[in-house]
A and B are shown apart, each in its own frame.
Chain A
């Protein structure tokens, strides 16, 4: 069973279109994330939801809107796509930090969605 799944795997679309990427996790985690990996492989956090509540909202254009219908799903909707949005988008999930002095967490990543905007 796939722990964190994303659809679609590939998405090719034209500038100006609106598209969505879906993510689901079956790990029972409370927290989900969206990352963007650019052409140089740099990974940057975009958003995070904990129990359907937005907890991380990095500086991304407001054309990007995450939606979490329940704690097992986190979707990413992108309006008015631009060439610069071309990237691989990764979904991830984790439990909440373990607490205490070291409060660590481990994130589990999905397979990625390669978005190409032409």
Chain B
């Protein structure tokens, strides 16, 4: 079974700082990769996903992620964060044609104004 590790438990930044959140997975085969965001008190929303093709994926709200197959990684980045990016960020992995989505433990991002 695949597992997902998110290295940072809690990240605190100032506005306009750059953000990078680490995500590694353990599965030797092809995977689909996702980043979800959960704003305070809200449900999970999809930020971006990678199935195939260009390993640099652009998502909503200025986020992007890069799939590096050799490192089993799918790190999330944003060049300049805003206060409204304060949220919980979850990396998730899915094996092709499987219904099961495995989530990492999440990273809490706090952006100070």
A and B interact physically? yes
A55–B97 CA distance with the chains assembled, in angstroms = 13
Does A112 lie within 8 Å of B52, measured CB to CB? no
* Segment at the interface with A among B15-23, B39-47, B62-70, B73-81: B39-47
Interface centre among A33, A43, A112 (most CB of B within 10 A): A43
A103–B105 CA distance with the chains assembled, in angstroms = 24
Q: How many residues of B contact A (CB 8 A)?
A: 27
Does B101 lie within 8 Å of A110, measured CB to CB? no
B94 close to A (CB within 8 Å): yes
Interface of B: prevailing SS? strand
Does A109 lie within 8 Å of B99, measured CB to CB? no
- What's the minimum C-beta distance from B23 to chain A, rounded to whole angstroms? 14
CB closest residue in chain A, given B102 = A45
A64–B108 CA distance with the chains assembled, in angstroms = 29
* Segment at the interface with B among A11-19, A65-73, A76-84, A93-101: A93-101
B90 close to A (CB within 8 Å): yes
Does B42 lie within 8 Å of A42, measured CB to CB? no
Does A99 lie within 8 Å of B99, measured CB to CB? no
Known: A41-B105, A42-B105, A106-B46. A94 touches B99 (CB 8 A): yes
Within 8 Å CB of B96, what residues of A?
97, 100-104
Does A41 lie within 8 Å of B43, measured CB to CB? no
A89–B45 CA distance with the chains assembled, in angstroms = 15
Does A56 lie within 8 Å of B99, measured CB to CB? yes
Within 8 Å CB of B26, what residues of A?
none
- What's the minimum C-beta distance from A34 to chain B, rounded to whole angstroms? 12
Known: A42-B105, A111-B43. A48 touches B99 (CB 8 A): yes
Q: List 26 A–B pairs whose Cβ atoms lie within 8 Å, in order of A's numbering.
A: A41-B38, A41-B105, A41-B106, A42-B103, A42-B106, A43-B44, A43-B103, A43-B106, A48-B99, A48-B100, A55-B99, A90-B44, A94-B99, A97-B97, A97-B99, A101-B30, A101-B52, A102-B30, A103-B97, A104-B51, A104-B96, A105-B99, A106-B34, A107-B101, A109-B36, A109-B43
